[in-house]
Amino acid sequence: MTGLKGVALVAAVTLFGLAACGKKGDEASPDAAGVDSAAVQKTVVTTLHSGMTKDEVKSKLGEPRTRVTMDGGLERWTYYAYDANGQIAAKTMIIFDSDGKVAEVNDQSR
């Protein structure tokens, strides 16, 4: 990646990774800098598409907050992001098919 677009994407992913740090569990966990991780997550989620592998998703969003194994070999990963006030502002669920490829992306951003 080169140019301004590449720099912006790297910055967004870096900020998302920093904003995702915090307490474990489902409670709100704002980071010290007050980064709006929901805005970063929304940007990154737009780059996801059907057929991506789990590793490709992890490279963009990091480890999910939760993983649930579903019937038929499906797996659901859930990511939460927080606004600058530490409130949950985005929830993204990704469903993987039995081959481990993205089948559905459900972004519930506010």
pLDDT in the model for residue 8: 42
**72 torsion bin: left (phi>0), alpha (psi -120 to 50), beta (else):** left
Question: Residues 18, 23, 28, 34: what is their CA dihedral angle, to the nearest 10 degrees?
Answer: -30
Query: Mean pLDDT of all residues in the chain?
Result: 77
Answer whether residue 1 shows pLDDT above 90.
Answer: no
C-alpha radius of gyration, the chain, whole number: 14
The fraction of the chain above a pLDDT of 90, given in percent, is 48
Answer whether residue 80 shows pLDDT above 90.
Answer: yes
pTM of the model: 0.65
In which domain, by residue range, is 42 found? 3-107
Sheet holding 88-96: strands in order across? 66-69, 75-82, 88-96, 102-107
What CATH number did the domain enclosing 42 receive?
3.30.1450.10
Answer whether residue 11 shows pLDDT above 60.
Answer: no
Mean pLDDT of 61-82: 94
- Predicted confidence band of residue 71 (pLDDT cuts 50, 70, 90): very high
Q: Round to whole Å and give the CA distance between 104 and 76.
A: 9
The domain total for the chain is 1
